[in-house]
Structure 1
Amino acid sequence: MVNERPLRIIHCFRSPIGGIFRHVRDLAEYHARQGHDVGIVCDSSTGGAYEDALFDEIRPFLSLGMFRLPIRRSVSPSDLRALWGSYREIRSLQPDVLHGHGAKGGAIARVIGSVLRVNRYRVARLYSPHGGSLHYSRDTFAGNAILRIEHLLESFTDALVFVCDFEHDTYVAKVGKPRCRSERIYNGISDRDFDTVYPREDAADFLYIGMLRDLKGPDVFIEAFAKTERRVGRPLSALMIGDGPDEAKYEHTMLRLGLGRRIAMMPAMKAREAFAMTRAVVVPSRAESMPYIVLEALAAKVPVIASRVGGIPEVLGNDNIALAEPADADALAAAMARSVTDPKWRMQVMPDPDRFKGTFSASVMAASMMKLYRELLPRRGHKAGCTVSARLA
């Protein structure tokens, strides 16, 4: 068959933490096991010991290696150095596919892929926003500029890959209807993540796990926890696991509210280790795309209470009683209180396990992505171009 040779795939992204890094690791492992050559280009200035351990796990699957260089979060003149350094490395690897993740990764993949095309080198250029720049608003100068850049870069894109319908709809609303091919491919998790995690005897009532920054809602979680205790009329317990720039602020808030002994804080760890320490995961984010922590928890049979943001309702179901309006501590507390007072609550909020696995497994995600890669690569004697897909119209 045409184009059935192994592909050379390079994933470009900025920060090796959180959902994007998980997404890339899963794709890299699945595609490497199928015989493809995979490499990574990402930032060298973020991440710590936990992320270093994750790199060690994925390194055996990166036959094209891993290239790390400083890539700042904000737009700056140093981006030109990052582009030049990435270009030299990527050009030498002769990729078939450049897949950019997040705003910075998307820019690197598409700009470099386009330069390679000027030199008559054919490479498929893909971009997955993963939320990223779509969190910005056109009402601000910076947001308007970033969304205009997204619109401009679309001309250098062969396919946009959205991880949920919400992300696609947000892109259309803020950037415009895609002028190139677009696909929705849900995030997926590996088969090993579908093993049940049972809570320890001393498990906390609630767990927050993720980045300690306001966008993810740790402050909402703390306030909602205090309100939940008042609703149920007894002390409860909680864990906050993660690292981030606002950690000290949240510690101060807990002390001010007198919760220091009932909410414990721990550094970042693997999600499945954390799941054994709780009876319910709380995702209080103000904005999300398709957070992996929701998929991982549900696969491990740990119920989730979450803000109604991003693609979370696509996973739980839009009418799920475990959903609360974002940044609303009262609504979140109501859902949390119900989880500890209603014996039927767990049965009502958990999705059908077979349907869930059939939709959100990494094998499905990786197969769909490979099919897209193949379709974007030109047949011999044909030119690759930007085509419009009606699947997300």
Structure 2
Amino acid sequence: MAAADEQDAREHAAALPGLRVLHVMRAPVGGLFRHVADLTRAQAASGCHVGVVADSLTGGEDAARILGGLSPHLALGVTRLPMRRLPHPDDLRIAWRVAALVRELQPHIIHGHGAKGGLYARLPAVLPIFPQPASAPARVYTPHGGSLHFRPDSPLGRIFFTAELIMGRVTDLMPFESDYARRRFSETVEPPRALAPVVHNGLSPQEFAPVAPAPGAADFVFIGEMRVAKGVEDLLHAFAALPGDLRLALAGSGLDEAQFRTLAHELGLADRVAFHPRTPTREALAHGKILVVPSRAESLPYIVLEAIAAKTPVVSTRVGGIPEIFGSQAARLAPPRDPAALAAAMRAMHDMSPQARMALAEEMADFVKTRFTIDRMNEGVLGGYRAALSRTPRLAAAGSAH
């Protein structure tokens, strides 16, 4: 079924000029936001009329700047509404406003991203109390991890997975960003009823230019949110087991940053670990010679793609879709939550000769360049749209018009 879905999407991957697409997400931050921003630009360039709905409570000036830059490409505009991360009584009001916007804009496709974006995009099709458009759009959902990171037996997990079961009945297409995410959804919720191709995240051609370490760069660098889920605690314990002449840079910010600064001091690493503020990825990569991704859970992280494209050696844990990015080098991945194994992988990469490390970096960059590009991502999603439109009787008229 999954292979058939991917073939179906490839056969329908032609551009869809005039197609009206509304993307709905919650927080305009992180990899999910980057995915939506890249996809909207590419779809607009393909001739689609695109709009974005996003949370107004998060993202700050960075989100406002990026959305402002997207606005000229968005024929259906940018709408920002206050959205809560966890289930909240206000969800019904926000879903109502999204439904009213759909009725006004009449998109052919409404594409929800993440758990909340997927809820707002699909709930109006479940409950007839919401304003209904003149013609029903195709309802598309990309999880981006989201609810899939919760344990099925936890209270929140049960809420999210029950919602996924209900929403799955009105979903026409689920383009997963990794084969891992598709397997995880099948195991924790149910095998998708909708078309379910794998469409990997992608990079622009400019991102494949190498990034050289800055003078005085640390031996290792971590880039990302300072959160427990990102494995920073595991990284600090792993680094403490390495020789005392090595240095580590941590670039980013987050709620748990103070906790990690305290831990670095308690481990006697204060003179070997430097904390840097959040900066664009390519600037942050220059802080170190080897990127370490110690995550405990991921979907298909952009930081791994960006570092490999920049020919920066990468040490990572085996979580989410990262093995799909590593390809034939996946055996190098360390198990998550295992500081000793992570330390061994870091030492092995550091002790490799510069020539061997560069050869490995070039091999992995070539692999990513053939499989993880924005053009390929856009073609895969548009192909999924057309396949969904052509296979769903109530949407066939919209599909034949494009």
Task: Tell me, yes or no, if structure 1 residue 362 matches structure 2 residue 374.
Answer: yes
**1:70 corresponds to 2:82:** yes
With 101-110 and 201-210 compared, the bigger mean Cα shift is at 201-210
Matched, 1:84 2:96: yes
Which runs of 5 or more structure 1 residues have no equivalent in the other structure? 386-393
Q: 1:153 aligns with which of 167, 187, 198?
A: 167
Residue 13 of structure 1 aligns with an amino acid whose one-letter code is M
The alpha-carbon distance between structure 1 residues 318 and 168, as it changes in their structure 2 partners (threshold 3 A), is: farther
Distance 1:51 1:120, change over 3 A: closer
Matches within 5 A, 1:160-309: 160-229=174-243, 234-309=244-319
Q: Which has the higher helix share?
A: 2
Shift in CA distance, 382/314, structure 1 to aligned 2, threshold 3 Å: closer
Structure 1: how far apart are the matches of 2:122 and 2:336? 33
Select between 291-300 and 204-213 the one with higher mean Cα deviation.
Answer: 204-213
| Amino acid in the other structure paired with 1:92 | E
One-letter identity of the residue aligned with 1:282:
V
Tell me how far 1:347 sits from its aligned partner.
3.1
Specify the alignment match of 1:389 in structure 2: none
Q: Kindly tell me: are residues 221 and 248 of structure 1, through their superposed partners in 2, closer, same or farther at Cα, counting changes over 3 Å?
A: same
- The answer to whether the Cα contact below 8 Å between 1:100 and 1:106 also exists between their aligned partners in 2 is yes
Name the % identity.
40
Aligned to 2:78, what secondary structure does the other structure show? Answer: strand
Contact 1:100 1:109 in 2 (8 A): yes
Letter paired with 1:198: A
What's the secondary structure of 1:215's corresponding residue? helix
Counterpart amino acid of 2:99? Y
Q: Is the 8 A contact 1:303 1:350 kept in 2?
A: no
Match of 1:47 among 33, 52, 59: 59
Does the CA contact (< 8 Å) of 1:38 and 1:61 recur in 2?
A: yes
Aligned residue for 2:340? Answer: 330
SS of residue matched to 1:316: helix
Q: Indicate conservation of the 8 Å contact 1:29/1:58, yes or no.
A: yes
Residue number among 22, 33, 37 corresponding to 2:45 in the alignment: 33
The structural deviation recorded for 1:60 is: 2.6
Deviations 1:256-313 (A, max 9, x none): 1222232222222211111122211111110111111111111111111111001101
* Letter paired with 2:325: V
Counterpart of 2:387 in structure 1 is 375
Residue in structure 2 matched with residue 106 of structure 1 by the alignment: 118
**Which residue of 1 is the match for residue 27 of structure 2?**
15
C-alpha change, 1:136 and 1:350, in structure 2 (3 Å) is: farther
Q: Using structure 1 for the length normalisation, give the TM-score.
A: 0.90
Read off the aligned partner of 1:12 and give its amino acid letter.
Answer: V
How far residue 39 of structure 1 moved from its aligned partner, in angstroms, is 1.2
Q: Does 1:59 align with 2:71?
A: yes
Counterpart for residue 342 of structure 1: 352
Q: Which amino acid aligns with 1:383?
A: R
Q: Matched residues in 1 for 2:112 and 2:59: separation? A: 19
What amino acid is the match of 2:103?
R
Q: Specify the alignment match of 2:325 in structure 1.
A: 315
Shift of 1:236: 1.6
Q: RMSD of the TM alignment (CA)?
A: 2.3
Cα pair distance change 1:204/1:57, threshold 3 Å: farther
Q: Deviations over 1:196-248 (max 9, x none)?
A: 1111122221111111111111111111111123xxxx322222122211111
Name the CA distance, whole Å, in 2 between partners of 1:367 and 1:55. Answer: 23
The Cα shift of 1:319 comes to 5.1
In 1, the alpha carbon distance for the partners of 2:54 and 2:81 equals 7
Change (3 A) 1:119 1:52: closer
- Counterpart Cα distance in 1 of 2:219 and 2:71: 36
- Pairs aligned (count): 380
The answer (yes or no) to whether the contact 1:50–1:269 under 8 Å persists in 2 is: no
User: 1:66-110: per-residue Cα shift (whole Å, max 9, x none)?
Assistant: 111111111010111211222223322221111111100001111
